[in-house]
């Protein structure tokens, strides 16, 4: 027969809901604090109470470094943005896709009000990406040319193309979207990314 000195008490605190155990702990600091609180009619300290608490949920971060916002600005999905543009934090920053570009050129008239110069598409995409990724600034003509080279396209007369694009402005060696015609620029980016024609209302 065990003597009192041979008995070891194993105290356990249980939290029950309708006789169902929803949490339990053998933390000595917890049950000592609870006993003390019962005797003194006080609220238990926060530290032992944490033994019952669930671990904090991990913070939800964006899927990447700006692609979600980039896609949202254009009005497309994240997957559309990756497939059509594959935006990156390193130069050339935007990687065009041959199939998307081919369909874009088929959907956009070669001349007239809705025609789009080759240099214009990377200028739009880079402008949005630089803002949403945190790179900042406005794309240079060289950077726009580098994006075109990802699909082996060369803009033959950049100055004339920019002059004929009313929603695109040249500032020194940078290209900027005319803020009063941003809707038009976004429509062009969306047409490329979705392989669709321009909305006639734009």
pTM over 0.85: no
- Count of beta carbons in the 10 Å neighbourhood of residue 101: 20
Which of 66, 70, 32, 68 minimizes the C-alpha distance to 49? 32
- pLDDT above 70: residue 59: no
pLDDT recorded at residue 65:
76
Q: Of 27 and 158, which is predicted with more confidence? A: 158
Q: Show the tokens assigned to 155.
A: 């803009």
Over residues 30-56, the pLDDT tens digits come to 656 766 666 666 554 544 444 444 444
Over residues 73-95, the pLDDT tens digits come to 999 999 999 999 999 999 999 99
Confidence band (pLDDT; 50, 70, 90) for 17?
A: low
> Taking the domains of the chain in order of start, what are their residue ranges?
10-49, 67-194
pLDDT recorded at residue 116:
93
């Amino acid at each position: 027969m065990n003597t009192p000195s041979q008995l070891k008490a194993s105290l356990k605190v249980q939290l029950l809901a309708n006789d169902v155990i929803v949490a339990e702990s053998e933390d000595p600091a917890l049950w000592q604090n609870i006993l003390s609180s019962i005797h003194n009619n006080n609220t238990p300290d926060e530290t032992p109470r944490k033994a019952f608490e669930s671990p904090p949920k991990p913070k939800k971060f964006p899927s990447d470094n700006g692609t979600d916002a980039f896609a949202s600005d254009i009005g497309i999905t994240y997957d559309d943005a990756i497939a059509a543009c594959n935006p990156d934090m390193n130069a050339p920053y935007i990687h065009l896709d041959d199939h998307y570009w081919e369909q874009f050129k088929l959907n956009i008239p070669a001349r007239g009000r809705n025609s789009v110069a080759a240099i214009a598409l990377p200028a739009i995409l880079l402008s949005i990406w630089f803002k949403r990724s945190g790179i900042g600034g406005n794309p240079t003509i060289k950077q726009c040319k580098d994006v075109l080279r990802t699909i082996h396209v060369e803009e033959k007369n950049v100055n004339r193309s920019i002059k004929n694009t009313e929603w695109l402005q040249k500032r020194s060696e940078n290209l900027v979207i005319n803020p009063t015609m941003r809707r038009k620029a976004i429509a062009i980016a969306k047409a490329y990314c979705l392989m669709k024609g321009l909305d006639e209302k734009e």
